Amino acid sequence: MCVNVINNPTTTIDASFFGNDNSLITHRSAFQPIEYNAATTEDSTNQQHIIEARVPEFGEESFDFMDYAKLVAEEMVEQLENNRKKEPEITDYDELLITDPHHPEIEEAQIYKDKETLQSVLGFYAIRNNFQFRVKKSCARTYKICCLDPKCKWALTASRNGPTKSFIIRKYDRKVIHTCDLNIRFADKRQATTKLIGNYIKPRFTNIKTTQTPQDIRGEMKHKYGVRMNYMKAWRSKEHAQEELRGKANESYRLLPGFLHMLQKTNPGTIVHMETEDDNSFKYLFVALDASIKGWKKCKPIIVVDGTFLKSTYGGTLLSACTQDANGHIFPLAFSVVDSENNNSWQWFFTKVRETYGIREEQCLISDRHESISKAACQVFPEITHCYCVYHLLSNLKATFKKNASKLDKPFFAAARAYTERKFEYHMSELDSLDIRVRPYLQQVGYHKWSRYHCKNNRYSTMTSNIAESLNAANLAARELPITTLMESLRALIQQWTYTNRKKAQKTTTFLTPTAEKKLVDNFVDSLTENVKPINETMFEVVELTRSWVINLKEKTCSCNRFQLDELPCAHALAVIKEMNLNVYNYCSGYYTTRTWLETYSGSTYP
């Protein structure tokens, strides 16, 4: 680029504009700026830019090097636009690469992801077109096949694409038709191997609800492709498909230590314990994710435990511990894989739960009446209340006392849920009328083990182990998986469950969670017909027809016991709160607030 200066009178710069080290002091107003005009000339051989500059006259707008730089930049942008060449079209290699093992057609020059994909495509192609082939050569670099009938000229050659894993069909003439003997063409399909059929049905098992049986596989292959196969071959094909998706059972144990290491690395704070036998074989596993450990502090101090058998190759039992969040949803705490439900396994599991979660005031442990659970609870959790699931206890009652067994449900559940001794005794007398042997049996079990009124610690509304059983029901399909895949499924479950409930909590605009708000509204409706009579500044009598209750707002109690056991204002307390024009939310437990619900899911679970 050349610069021609036009009409440029002598310009002087005073020495004061330089510092002591002769560096230029950059004051834009300290000297007379130069104004530039740019022009472009072109000839047949090259392009020349001529920039004209002149000293602006007195009073004209200033033009300095900053403005000049902007002008040059504009010229550069214009040149880039003019000189920009159209990018040549490049064929996307990924679009040419065949990855579908069921690709319908074969042609010369096709590129396959790897040799296995090529073999699968050729196998299905042979089955669909009712012919059979044999392999002439198969190695890491070459794959050659020809028709099973030596008289037929059909053949195909493929080889590896350089140092890559992909294979290219080098020689194949699709115009060559099969001239093979019909007895060979319609004999049993030799290409319909267990592996090939397994790969064909594999996508079906990505849905955990799929229950395709070997007989279903036999029928489908017969009607769709004319392939006849016995039951064992169909069963092995199903096993192959599931192993490809889920992993092999024995290999899964080898992968387990590495998986647990990465689980702790990606989720700091996660507690993992794995115990092995003397011969280094697997014995016990315990996992509690960091998100669960953080959330436990915001939940009611109730832990529900249960066990369920695993249906994988090596069997075992999955033990679980969970609680409920502020909205009454299941909140998983810990999982453990053990040999079976026995004294040692439950004691080991409870020990790890205690080490991880500690002990909280007024804590309850709820389970079925499994003998090993009772023994382990006494040894590991002697200071907390161990309660029984009333549903399991009712099942025991019905199995023990056949007389009027179908009529025991309502009075028993009513007695278990009773808030007062009067209500409890009323429903127990109903049980006496059905079978006089029931009361002594329940006394021997211990009223404090199953009755809400007699419970030493507050079990709130958690009367059954239903939340643990619901968790086991959700894990039904996962219980068939190899151990590492099982643990990854449980991790993914908590990841999604945590995110889903956190989003629900974020969208909730009420002070209490939806479940608690509904209960409060129901109680408010019941309070509309009640009359309030003050006793003193904190105590009130609530009257409805011939019945009355005493409420102490300071202590947050009511003679109906609902206020203190539910830790939500009952209908009688709400009548008082409304009469006194008080804020109802000041009398609700923090366990029911939306804020607590959100804080429960403050942690995240990472892959």
pLDDT over threshold 60, residue 41? no
Q: What is the pLDDT of residue 88?
A: 54
Binned at pLDDT 50, 70 and 90, residue 49 comes out as very low
Question: In this predicted model, what pLDDT tens digit does every residue of 555-569 receive, in sequence order?
Answer: 999 999 999 999 999
For residue 332, pLDDT beyond 70: yes
How is residue 313 written in tokens?
């190759």
321, pLDDT greater than 60: yes
Neighbours of 390 (CB within 10 A): 21
The pLDDT, as a whole number, for residue 43 is 45
Q: How many CA atoms lie within 13 A of 501 on its CB side?
A: 32
CA 8 to chain centre: 75
The reported pLDDT for the residue numbered 55 is 45
Percent of the chain at pLDDT above 90?
54
Residue-level pLDDT at 95: 66
Is 261 a residue whose pLDDT tops 70?
yes
Per DSSP, the residues of 17-71 read: GB-TTSPBP--GGGS---EEEEEEEE-SS-EEEEEEEEPPPTTSPP--HHHHHHH
The pLDDT score that the predictor gives to residue 525 is 93
Q: Is the pLDDT of residue 234 over 80?
A: yes
Give the residue-averaged pLDDT of 327-347. 94
**What does the pLDDT read at residue 1?**
40
Q: Is the pLDDT of residue 345 over 90?
A: yes
Return the H-helix or E-strand segment holding 519: helix 514-527
Q: What does the pLDDT read at residue 81?
A: 61
pLDDT of 211 higher than 80: no
Question: Among 18-32, 205-219, 358-372, whose mean pLDDT is lowest?
Answer: 18-32
**CB–CB of 245/205 below 8 Å?**
yes
**Model confidence over 432-469: pLDDT tens digits?**
999 999 999 999 999 999 999 999 888 888 998 888 88
Contact between 214 and 253 (Cβ < 8 Å) = no
Q: What is the pLDDT at residue 67?
A: 64
Average the pLDDT over 254-269 and give the result. Answer: 93
- Give bridge partners of residue 137 from the DSSP assignment: 144
Q: How confident is the model at residue 25 (pLDDT cuts 50, 70, 90)?
A: very low
User: How confident is the prediction for the chain on average, in pLDDT?
Assistant: 83
Q: What is residue 330's predicted lDDT score, i.e. its pLDDT?
A: 92
What's the pLDDT score for residue 414? 94
pLDDT in tens, 68-84: 566 666 766 666 666 65
Owner of token pair 């309502």:
410
Which is more confidently placed, 277 or 33?
277
Q: Which helix (H) or strand (E) holds 121?
A: helix 115-128
Q: Per-residue pLDDT averaged across 217-240, rounded?
A: 80
| Residue 128 confidence (pLDDT) | 83
Q: Please tell me the predicted confidence (pLDDT) of residue 143.
A: 94
- Contacts for 465 with CB less than 8 Å, ≥ 6 apart: 304, 305, 306, 366, 367, 368, 389, 391, 392
Residue ranges per structural domain of the chain: 105-191, 194-245, 251-497, 514-587
Output the pLDDT for position 204: 72
